[in-house]
Amino acid sequence: MDFTKWKWTREPKGCEIFEDRIEIVTKPHTDLWQRTYYHFQNDNAPVFQMETEEQYFSFVVKTDFQESHHRFDQCGIVMYLDSENWLKASVEYENESGQHLGSVVTGEGYSDWATTVIDASVKTMWYRFSRREDDYRIECSRDGRIFEQMRICHMQKGKGKIQFGIYACSPEESSFRAVFSNIMLMDCQWEAHDGQQPDMKL
């Protein structure tokens, strides 16, 4: 992976880029969220992405968040198109007993959040982000071999050229080091649907 072609959309407190991994140190009070339920907007998380027009591919990364320790500390994958259209997936620290594994899809300025609670002892997680034109799938894995689907979504602004990559942030008064490794770009691992056929267009 050639990280020299990746670009920052806001830089973190600190970052080290190696051949085999990226380490990001988060800034306090950084997050990605738009409006829904909480009514606030926060659009200042560090995002490091590559750009592509490829319509079919999968992107894999392992996240290591051994140092996350404060409520809402998080790191994961992201496709950040603009401030009101993006998606992300991460493990978000809650407390000493639990944390949230989940994903957020934001379209036209409103975010949702789909989550499940996992044990706080989990400190690594793999993600696989796949594209089929303007439809997307996010998967997660504990071991990097068996991936489980988290979400399928359509992005109205997800056609043509997109940006995708990694992010890390600390929404409250916190900072931690997130490590991203095993970063791979590959042929699309999301197979074409072989069930019910599309509706006929009249």
Contact 70, 140 (CB under 8 A): no
> Does 182 fall in a domain?
yes
Structural domain contains residue 199: no
The per-residue pLDDT for 157 is 95
The pLDDT value recorded for residue 79 is 98
Any domain includes 135? yes
Provide the whole-model pTM: 0.95
Q: 159 lies in a domain?
A: yes
Asked if residue 98 is part of any domain, the answer here is yes
In a domain, 194, yes or no: no
Burial 80-103 (b: 16+ CB within 10 A, else e): bbeebbbbbbbbbbbeeeebbbbb
Domain membership of residue 46 as a residue range: 3-186
In a domain, residue 192? The reply is: no
From the first residue on, what is the mean pLDDT of each consecutive set of 10 residues in the chain (202 residues)?
94 96 98 93 97 98 98 98 98 97 97 97 98 98 98 96 98 98 98 80 58
Quote the number of domains for the chain: 1
Give me the CATH number covering residue 158: 2.60.120.200
Q: Is residue 201 part of a domain?
A: no
